[in-house]
A and B are shown apart, each in its own frame.
Chain A
């Protein structure tokens, strides 16, 4: 850690050798288990005292922290915590460790140490966070899934919080192509929360990376989640917000990202939907607007191999007409009457389209999926190209000659 870069920082951070050495490591196990004192309060003490062991001693002597913290600081056995951490397959990565993610060092109040399972992400510097509402719509879930999948195919790491809804869908998208994904938990790594994501968290533990700043055994707590969100934002070069209602946690993550000088990207939604509140507000404040994963990949300046591009399924005439007839969630009756075909025929074609993922049934009405939109764009492009007579599509999927990033790359140090 070069000291110059720390010197220009307007906020104090951990001493350069905080957590180095065996004694300091042992102290960090105990410090990570204290529930009443956050990095924000701990950093000034650490700066003053110099090492983790001295910081712990300071608390144990009763100079800082709550009474509970002081009692725990005296009583907790670091070796016991270390054993539990090891038992759940995690290891402690301290501030001085080479494994400590560099981009996390640049935020205010970084954790002094994190628990981590699995291999550290191969490309954590180009990690992208995908966050959003837990109670999301089907199209939001699809958008998150496609973004997770696309980022993974482009070799980036998908970071999220393993919550239900958008978080889970983005992890699933990455896992669906065996890509790398990282989940930051608001509890100890052996406490999978929420319980609905238990299975997902286990899979991420096997195939990706789990991160938490809390000691094993720590239960989830309300104030852990905003703190968790700062790590999500801090790990990533960009944060994508898919859906979020007013006052949701995704706004906090996005605000952290802005504060850290990272990019904020929002998936545009309908102005009438309550779940578009956060993305639209962020766009007004300058976030980058994307419609689908392709926009995001363009903006990041990355490409995915053409073979991996969504399979080009041929649509027959009836299917195309019905797909083009759906501008908003539509009843089959209306499609039948406007296209002049019978209801059973429309239902049949819709079913074919649904099985291939081009439409979905939401409460009895049918809407088109992002996959259908991507397909339609491709179709238009193809017909345009054949009209121009340029048979070139191998070099670039979007027609732009070379990928160039519109979003700033993260400072690698």
Chain B
């Protein structure tokens, strides 16, 4: 007695179709699962029989062997509960075998025969569509995300009994509403809420327009977190493909509630975060880390200097390649991770270096160690550096509410479309992604502006790396202004974003 159904296992964010074969033969009652099942699938063995029996179906009192094919791929996750159960039911002819081959099944079972929400259902649906199947059968709670995939039927069932009823033709699913197709993202916060800090607001606009990473240095209470949170709201609206990628990552991480994610994600892991939680990993089931959950959005590292060194060093790969490769004993997975980094730090351990009223009480050697943490290979990839002052009450009261996120976003989108057009043949999405030599070649800078940049190098205001960073930022500022050539005005503004030291150097004091 033999049955065969389709399941899907998710590696990283990608779903792989798995053929689940079941054989019911002679022997003492038992269930054996072969075909490289991971720990999570082995786990299912003792869960499936009670679930089947609770659903009012019969478990064969014979020897049952389930094989997961292909045998070279390690299968992970609880989503294979349902296909294993369906395989056994097909082998014992409790469901009609004819229609089974055109569906894929996914979902975790409870002992009472219910279907429990399962992570990664969007990836399952995408894999099913790619394989040309007619539809997927998934837990009812996950139906909305599966429905995001075009040309695929989605059956959302609350229990094993309903799945069997559907196949027997005795139960009809309610079609999941194709909600979540609104085109405008709703954010909980808006740039207009930031009072004062006009220079920082402008810097965020530039960062959003060029895809630049940002370092903010300022005392506690300067508004670093508030500003960082609002960067996500002025980034260009996500395309449908981008939204799908983000949704898929959140689905795999089990963080999705509802359908498509429209708003760019904002993630702010605490500084005690482990490298695995930041970059992705896990022992049995490889999960996306914070960097991937911030994909197409903003990763905010507050108290940047407090983060573990190994965690921070691990950020270099995603910043460079836009993805993370997580390799563990159980296998390796690739998670996309293209985010805008916003790092924030106090100017010194006590927080008051550069403050006009309160005096910094840090010892020099500690100050030196601290400043050293604000340089390094990772922060070389940060183009925009800002010193944020703590505002006095008088300064706060005098300020008008600023522009709204949506009007800033319009300018940002215009600047981005200029960049896309310019770099289309080169394959770079934005100014920030250009490697230094390419930036120098492609920046289209006027002779006067180039001379100004060179003089800034002579005045020790810029290092070699700083030169490239400033050039890229100046290019973005020119794009915001709709200018073809980078002019001196754009360069001087870019120069203002070059240094995050609250204490000016001696050379510049004279």
- Residue numbers of A with Cβ under 8 A of B are 134-135, 138, 141-142, 145-146, 149, 164, 169, 172-173, 176, 196, 272, 274, 329, 331-334, 336-337, 343-345, 347-352, 354-355, 357, 360-365, 369, 371
Contact = CB atoms under 8 A, between A and B. Distances in A.
B197 A333 contact: yes
Given A332-B198, A355-B492, 5 more contacts: A164-B364, A272-B357, A331-B395, A348-B492, A355-B456
Contacts of B496: 347-348, 350-351, 354
A354 B395 CA distance: 22
A369 to B, nearest CB: 7
B376 interface: no
B177 interface: no
Interface string B393-427: 00100111000000000000000000000000000
Interface stretch (B11-19, B71-79, B499-507): B499-507
Contact of B489 (A134, A176, A336, A348): A348
B495 A331 contact: no
Given A355-B459, A357-B510, A360-B508, A329 B356 contact: yes
Contact of B347 (A349, A363, A365): A363
A217 to B, nearest CB: 24
A138 B506 CA distance: 8
A365 B356 contact: yes
Contacts of A354: 496, 508
Interface of B: 196-199, 201-202, 218-219, 222, 347, 353-357, 359-360, 364, 386-389, 391, 395, 398-400, 455-456, 459, 461, 477, 489, 492-493, 495-496, 499, 502-504, 506, 508-510
Nearest to A138: B504
Nearest to B395: A331
A313 to B, nearest CB: 13
B356 A347 contact: no
B198 A336 contact: yes
A145 B506 CA distance: 9
A364 B398 contact: no
B311 to A, nearest CB: 28
B323 to A, nearest CB: 34
A275 to B, nearest CB: 8
Contacts of A352: 492
A153 B400 CA distance: 49
B456 A361 contact: no
A332 B510 contact: no
B387 A142 contact: no
B196 A333 contact: yes
Interface centre among A344, A348, A371 (most CB of B within 10 A): A344
Contact of A333 (B198, B386, B503, B506): B198
Contacts of B199: 331-333, 343, 347, 364
Contact of B461 (A138, A173, A345, A355): A355
5 contacts: A164-B364, A176-B510, A355-B455, A355-B461, A364-B199
B495 A351 contact: yes
B466 to A, nearest CB: 13
Contacts of A134: 364
Contacts of B389: 331, 363-365
B510 A142 contact: yes
Contacts of B388: 364
Contacts of B503: 138, 362
Interface centre among B222, B354, B395 (most CB of A within 10 A): B354
Interface centre among A272, A355, A360 (most CB of B within 10 A): A355
Nearest to A134: B364
Given A145-B510, A343-B198, A361 B492 contact: no
A352 to B, nearest CB: 5
Given A343-B198, A362-B354, A369 B492 contact: no
B202 A343 contact: yes
A7 B191 CA distance: 80
B398 A334 contact: yes
Contacts of B456: 355
Contacts of A371: 510
B364 A138 contact: no
Contacts of B510: 142, 145-146, 149, 173, 176, 357, 371
A352 B492 CA distance: 7
A362 B495 contact: no
Contacts of A274: 359
Nearest to A165: B364
Contacts of A363: 218-219, 347, 353-356, 387, 389, 502
A334 B195 CA distance: 12
Contact of B508 (A164, A345, A350, A357): A357
Contact of A360 (B202, B400, B509): B509
Contact of A196 (B359, B364, B499): B364
A141 B196 CA distance: 30
A333 B509 contact: no
A354 B364 CA distance: 26
A348 B473 CA distance: 13
Interface centre among B398, B459, B493 (most CB of A within 10 A): B493
Contacts of A355: 455-456, 459, 461, 492, 495
A138 B495 CA distance: 20
Contact of B506 (A141, A337, A351): A141
Contacts of A333: 196-199, 395, 399
A309 to B, nearest CB: 14
Contact of B356 (A141, A146, A348, A362): A362
Contact of B218 (A176, A196, A348, A364): A364
Contacts of A351: 492-493, 495-496
Contacts of A196: 364
Nearest to B201: A343
Contacts of A350: 496
Contacts of A272: 357
Nearest to B501: A361
Contacts of B398: 334, 337
A355 B496 CA distance: 10
Interface centre among A135, A196, A364 (most CB of B within 10 A): A364
A347 B395 CA distance: 18
A228 to B, nearest CB: 19
B494 to A, nearest CB: 9
